[in-house]
Chain A
């Protein structure tokens, strides 16, 4: 009997990395609730004509966002970030692997809201990029059609779910630049959460995958053959061609200079400003476009971008007016 009652008692130790228990919190109010979009009543009734049907919109916005926030409420109960905003939770939990679960939920909630906020939901208005934005896009991507194709091809080529962002950054001589940033799964573009940016597919971009690809032509031969002295998979994955490490260490090496430049990052995380994003998670486009419909979804989404939101988020100097390099306030 004592043994049974011990087993019935909930375990005191439950790591945050494991999925939370499916228990409803006893009579506690939820801190995070579903935010409202513009024209949300019309969206609930009709979806977004030309992009989402009513059911697809309900699934990918209402249901998914509520699910993320519900799980986040469960994760945050009693934690220091219980009452913080979603972006604060993202930045505070990005660095600690033990806080991966609240990071994932918060980051997906933030990204999903950013995606739906950037859609032009008013069917009577067509949106086009402003002349300033067109100029900067053409400058950074050689032309507006090439920017379109680069963006959509990046999104299509991503294998697996994620987001693709257009971000504004700053080049070495402080001129604003625009870049395309993919974030896999629940990666965040926020500068403060760079530990979980997840901009590369780790199954393909890791040290062992790169080195074994280059070593496939030059297999090391020795007394043990291709395997190491302790059997297969014991040879360290190093290239057989010698590398010159002159200047790789020291105060003036590239690594030191990069770390010093990293220290000079602007305060407040303003070095990366997300302007635009597309949600390439399958549940968003599977219902309406089918298993092969990712490209069609992307092209339809391109016509539904609200470029005014992009312009408002960007702080790009007007090319027709000279002398805007100096900040005057």
Chain B
């Protein structure tokens, strides 16, 4: 009888979402009946509210289903959202009435929407104060080829030279990123952090804006040995199952380092040079240009100039990544995959397969000339690395 009455009560409701819980109801009928009656009254209120809202223009405050009260907080949030939408519509219609504003420098656009290598013009570099060097007495004579002249006691960097070197560096960044290389953007002065982080985001690389720990490359196993490694496929998706094999792998190193203040990062650049890692650097008139592989003669003291250069290199990296992903979606891999990993298959299948077969977690690399060149370069670098006593783990993405 109790069972029957409870079931009848539950079916009489308009929205009977508890009908499947009738079994549970049998156990605690009394408590559930109070709950059910409260729910019923709430649903009555909500149905009345929806009827009023449907038939009239007046807005009725909604009932909070948990506390059964009209919560001013929820209404306030709804109102704020509505007002914001109306504000945005009004701004779109009448916000720009009255005049047309001529294009001008807006600092946030250098970070939100950085220029690409195609947007590099002498006017942009001049406006970003890239031409301003240091006092003539502080110069490094090796930079003589980059200097246009002297004005008001400082050396003026030739902007055509700056533009040419910047385009070359952008091409290097684009190609390294197209081939799946690890790029590190380093800038340790005050205010350079946002530019460096933004460039790394665009190029899907890595950033550094605090002090470089000396030995992170030459003594990398000690300093960065605890960092986690992961295996990714050509679409940058993590492939599980390689955890045991990654335990023994050596720590990763960057394939390219972009440093926007080389004067303070001598140690980083020296470690890169010792380990044959190419570097790009912003070379002011007092900086030694031989510290980096690809100098960009420009003003490293101007944040606007650094934001332009880091933005351009970030955009170049973004273009390279896009090319890599497009090739991957067509089945082409732009790099040589790691050949000393075995697939995490079942033990009996593993024993039956040939032991020296290279792992097929990534599809067989296609594409002609570029891969062959990559193989040659890879072979040379492996020779160099073997002399060093350690293998370079190129193709495995390090997770930070």
Cβ-based interface call for A99 (8 A): no
User: A35 touches which one: B83, B90, B99, B104 (CB < 8 A)?
Assistant: B99
- Chain B residues with Cβ below 8 Å from A86 are 96-99
Q: Please measure, in the bound complex, the distance between the C-alpha atom of A175 and the C-alpha atom of B87, giving whole angstroms.
A: 18
Cβ-based interface call for A106 (8 A): yes
Q: Please measure, in the bound complex, the distance between the C-alpha atom of A267 and the C-alpha atom of B84, giving whole angstroms.
A: 7
- Chain B residues with Cβ below 8 Å from A173 are 58
- B79-91 CB contact bits vs A (8 Å, 1 = yes)? 1111111110110
Cβ-based interface call for A313 (8 A): yes
Take A29-B102, A109-B99, A274-B94 as given contacts and tell me if A269 and B53 are in contact as well, using a CB distance cutoff of 8 Å: no
- Chain B residues with Cβ below 8 Å from A30 are 102
- Give, as a whole number of angstroms, the nearest-CB distance from B140 to chain A: 36
A270 and B83 form a contact (CB under 8 A):
yes
Cβ-based interface call for A244 (8 A): no
Take A175-B57, A325-B53 as given contacts and tell me if A83 and B90 are in contact as well, using a CB distance cutoff of 8 Å: no
Q: Please measure, in the bound complex, the distance between the C-alpha atom of A45 and the C-alpha atom of B268, giving whole angstroms.
A: 68
Take A109-B98, A267-B80 as given contacts and tell me if A322 and B54 are in contact as well, using a CB distance cutoff of 8 Å: yes
B58 and A33 form a contact (CB under 8 A):
no
- Chain A residues with Cβ below 8 Å from B54 are 322-323
- Chain A residues with Cβ below 8 Å from B81 are 327, 329
B97 and A113 form a contact (CB under 8 A):
yes
- Chain B residues with Cβ below 8 Å from A326 are 53, 59
- Chain A residues with Cβ below 8 Å from B86 are 266, 268, 270, 273, 315
Q: B57, B78, B96, B100 — which one has the most chain A CB atoms within 10 A of its CB?
A: B57
Q: Please measure, in the bound complex, the distance between the C-alpha atom of A274 and the C-alpha atom of B90, giving whole angstroms.
A: 10
Give the nearest-CB partner of B55 in chain A. Answer: A322
Cβ-based interface call for B101 (8 A): yes
- Give, as a whole number of angstroms, the nearest-CB distance from A210 to chain B: 35
- Chain B residues with Cβ below 8 Å from A269 are 87
B87 and A270 form a contact (CB under 8 A):
yes
- A61-86 CB contact bits vs B (8 Å, 1 = yes)? 00000000100100000000001011
Q: Please measure, in the bound complex, the distance between the C-alpha atom of A208 and the C-alpha atom of B84, giving whole angstroms.
A: 42
- B60-90 CB contact bits vs A (8 Å, 1 = yes)? 1000000000000000001111111111011
User: A313 touches which one: B83, B85, B93, B100 (CB < 8 A)?
Assistant: B93
B58 and A35 form a contact (CB under 8 A):
no
Of residues 71 through 112 on chain A, the ones whose CB sits less than 8 Å from some CB of chain B are 72, 83, 85-87, 106, 109-110
Cβ-based interface call for A228 (8 A): no
- Chain B residues with Cβ below 8 Å from A11 are none
Take A312-B93, A325-B56, A326-B59 as given contacts and tell me if A106 and B83 are in contact as well, using a CB distance cutoff of 8 Å: no
B101 and A325 form a contact (CB under 8 A):
no
Cβ-based interface call for B240 (8 A): no
Q: Please measure, in the bound complex, the distance between the C-alpha atom of A6 and the C-alpha atom of B38, giving whole angstroms.
A: 87
A34 and B100 form a contact (CB under 8 A):
yes
- Chain B residues with Cβ below 8 Å from A266 are 79, 83, 86
- Chain A residues with Cβ below 8 Å from B153 are none
Of residues 300 through 327 on chain A, the ones whose CB sits less than 8 Å from some CB of chain B are 312-313, 315, 317, 322-327
- Chain B residues with Cβ below 8 Å from A284 are none
Cβ-based interface call for B95 (8 A): yes
B101 and A32 form a contact (CB under 8 A):
yes
Give the nearest-CB partner of B78 in chain A. Answer: A327
A87 and B95 form a contact (CB under 8 A):
yes
Cβ-based interface call for A158 (8 A): no
Q: Please measure, in the bound complex, the distance between the C-alpha atom of A85 and the C-alpha atom of B102, giving whole angstroms.
A: 11
Of residues 244 through 298 on chain A, the ones whose CB sits less than 8 Å from some CB of chain B are 266-270, 273-274
B87 and A87 form a contact (CB under 8 A):
no
A329 and B85 form a contact (CB under 8 A):
yes
Cβ-based interface call for A204 (8 A): no
Cβ-based interface call for A203 (8 A): no
A267 and B87 form a contact (CB under 8 A):
yes
Q: Please measure, in the bound complex, the distance between the C-alpha atom of A217 and the C-alpha atom of B94, giving whole angstroms.
A: 50
Q: Please measure, in the bound complex, the distance between the C-alpha atom of A188 and the C-alpha atom of B275, giving whole angstroms.
A: 68
Q: Please measure, in the bound complex, the distance between the C-alpha atom of A87 and the C-alpha atom of B87, giving whole angstroms.
A: 13
- Chain B residues with Cβ below 8 Å from A5 are none
- B364-395 CB contact bits vs A (8 Å, 1 = yes)? 00000000000000000000000000000000
B98 and A113 form a contact (CB under 8 A):
yes
Q: Please measure, in the bound complex, the distance between the C-alpha atom of A87 and the C-alpha atom of B98, giving whole angstroms.
A: 8
- Chain B residues with Cβ below 8 Å from A110 are 97-98
B100 and A35 form a contact (CB under 8 A):
yes
Q: Please measure, in the bound complex, the distance between the C-alpha atom of A284 and the C-alpha atom of B57, giving whole angstroms.
A: 41
B99 and A267 form a contact (CB under 8 A):
no
Give the nearest-CB partner of B49 in chain A. Answer: A326
Give the nearest-CB partner of B54 in chain A. Answer: A323
Of residues 1 through 55 on chain A, the ones whose CB sits less than 8 Å from some CB of chain B are 29-36
Give the nearest-CB partner of A317 in chain B. Answer: B57
- Chain A residues with Cβ below 8 Å from B82 are 327, 329
- Chain A residues with Cβ below 8 Å from B58 are 173-175, 325
- Give, as a whole number of angstroms, the nearest-CB distance from A107 to chain B: 9
Give the nearest-CB partner of A326 in chain B. Answer: B53
- Give, as a whole number of angstroms, the nearest-CB distance from B8 to chain A: 34
User: A85 touches which one: B78, B83, B93, B96 (CB < 8 A)?
Assistant: B96
Q: A29, A86, A110, A269 — which one has the most chain B CB atoms within 10 A of its CB?
A: A86
Q: Please measure, in the bound complex, the distance between the C-alpha atom of A29 and the C-alpha atom of B104, giving whole angstroms.
A: 10
- Chain A residues with Cβ below 8 Å from B98 are 32, 35, 69, 85-87, 106, 109-110, 113
Q: Please measure, in the bound complex, the distance between the C-alpha atom of A282 and the C-alpha atom of B121, giving whole angstroms.
A: 50
Cβ-based interface call for A195 (8 A): no
Q: Please measure, in the bound complex, the distance between the C-alpha atom of A175 and the C-alpha atom of B57, giving whole angstroms.
A: 7
B57 and A33 form a contact (CB under 8 A):
no
B102 and A268 form a contact (CB under 8 A):
no
- Give, as a whole number of angstroms, the nearest-CB distance from B113 to chain A: 17
Cβ-based interface call for A114 (8 A): yes
The 9 closest A-B pairs by CB, nearest first: A86-B98, A268-B87, A32-B99, A323-B54, A109-B98, A110-B98, A270-B86, A325-B57, A266-B83
Residues of B within 8 A of A (CB): 53-60, 78-87, 89-90, 93-102, 104, 106
What would 16 more interface pairs be, CB under 8 Å, given A270-B86, A325-B56? Answer: A31-B104, A83-B106, A85-B98, A110-B97, A113-B99, A267-B87, A268-B84, A270-B90, A273-B86, A274-B94, A322-B54, A322-B55, A323-B56, A325-B60, A327-B82, A329-B85
Residues of A within 8 A of B (CB): 29-36, 69, 72, 83, 85-87, 106, 109-110, 113-114, 117, 173-175, 266-270, 273-274, 312-313, 315, 317, 322-327, 329
Between-chain CB contacts (< 8 Å), 18 pairs: A32-B98, A69-B98, A72-B99, A83-B104, A85-B99, A87-B95, A109-B98, A109-B99, A110-B97, A117-B97, A268-B83, A268-B87, A269-B87, A274-B94, A315-B89, A324-B57, A325-B57, A325-B59
